[in-house]
Amino acid sequence: MTNTDALSRQPTKLDLASPQQFKFSIIKLPKVEYFCTAANVPGVNMGNATQTNPFRDIPVPGDKFVFEQLEITFMVDENLENYREMHGWLTGIGFPKDRKQYRDILAENKDRFPVIGKESTPTDPGKVVSGATPIGPIFSDATLNILTSKNNANIEVRFRDVFPISLSGLNFNQQASDVDYLSATAIFQYNIYEFAQKGKKAVSYTHLTLPTNREV
């Protein structure tokens, strides 16, 4: 039964969340996370369906839950190390030059939260495989830590099976009149994100497997 007592319905925490109080970390991109200046909690939507009726169509909840994209902005260091780190992940997945780029990313370490179950990993990444690809090196996991007003870790937003889909370019300009620094924006897709209270025991997850016969 819903509690209608006014006093008991008041919030116990009156401090407001600040957009400056956060720390973003992504396991695969340590140099990017250090310079991260903006990140988002993506929106979600489920849509709706319509149940026909002789008098009036009735809206009902949809059955397809959709997560919007994860987007971060980071300052670019002088040696472009963090930009190249991000760029290398994208080119490894897309391998625009040759298949060696894809084989190289498959050879990297897995950058994931703990998993349940056994993942499928072929012994020779240069062969055509049936079933699942070795997903660990292709994806990563990420966490958006939301801090309190006293800069203490509070809420974690945990993203699973993250992979990049775009990276903005870098625009140099000798006519700029003010001191300015380069920044870049990266956009990611992912499997799911969940909220967790800081200090709670990490949950073990079963990660995605990709059915594919992709030749590398």
| Domain-located, residue 52 | no
Contact 57/69 with Cβ under 8 angstroms?
Answer: no
| Domain-located, residue 67 | yes
| Domain-located, residue 13 | no
Task: Determine which helix (DSSP H) or strand (DSSP E) holds 137, and give its type and residue range.
Answer: helix 135-138
- For the chain, what is the domain count? 1
Residue with tokens 């800081």: 198
| Domain-located, residue 12 | no
| Domain-located, residue 207 | no
Range of the domain at 169: 22-46+63-197
CA angle (204, 148, 115) in 5-degree steps? 10
CATH of the domain at 70: 2.30.110
**Residue-level pLDDT, tens digit, the chain, 216 residues:** 566 677 777 877 778 889 999 999 998 999 998 999 999 999 999 988 889 988 899 999 988 899 999 999 999 999 999 999 999 999 999 998 888 888 888 887 666 665 544 444 444 444 444 333 446 688 999 999 999 988 888 999 999 999 999 999 999 998 878 888 999 999 999 999 999 987 665 554 555 555 444 455
| Domain-located, residue 210 | no
pTM of the model: 0.77
| Domain-located, residue 214 | no
